[in-house]
Amino acid sequence: MPEATHHGGSLPEPHGPSARRIAANRRNALRSTGPQTLAGKRRVALNARKNGLCPVELQQQLRARGEDPSEFRRLHRDLIGIFRPSHEAAEAAVLALATAWWEKARRARNWVAAGPPRCQDLDERLENLLLKLIGMMRQRHEWWVHRLGSVVGWPIGSPAEVLQQIEERLFVFGGQPGRRKYRIRPRPGRPPEDGEQSHHS
């Protein structure tokens, strides 16, 4: 069967994107650079992860309360991105942090009495878990100071202040990514890595 021809017997030239379209694509690419901080990049890298973020028993408990396990997985994934647990005990501590923060958010959501919700017991639990996790990192000679500084900025305050700064970034407490700036200090003796300047969280 003869091939279709176009004005003189040759096939039509394929039309590529116009210069205007190419320029628009480049502008859009500059706007959509993704997360800039190390913690943000770690969270994005974990976006596809689902296994292990919400144990089956906990999923059943959440569903029984009318809560969405995927929201808990999101909280747990964010905390993994912040603390980067490197062994089983640290992973268990991060899961315990996620559970305590979830309970605190639930208590605040369901609080009906006058004044702020009473969460002193949960704040104490969170502080103890944070100190436990930092102790594990120190024993393994991990860069825990730099890791926290990349999230909460410098100087690093007390455990209670660090917990409050992390909490302000968690979506279950109304955190809005990209709204806050903080200073990032590089590790001594090496240049800063990508994203280790002042950036939106």
Q: Convert the pLDDT of each residue in 103-123 to its tens digit.
A: 999 999 998 878 888 999 999
Q: Which of 12-21, 29-38, 55-64, 179-188 has the lowest mean pLDDT?
A: 179-188
So what's the pLDDT on residue 195? 41
Residue 163 confidence (pLDDT) above 80: yes
Domain ranges of the chain: 36-110+117-200
- List CB contacts of 87: < 8 A, sequence separation 6 or more: 136, 140
Strands (E), the chain: 181-182, 199-200
More confident residue, 84 or 188: 84
State the Cα–Cα distance between residues 4 and 137, nearest whole angstrom: 70
Which residue in 89, 62, 84, 86 sits closest to 73, CA to CA?
62
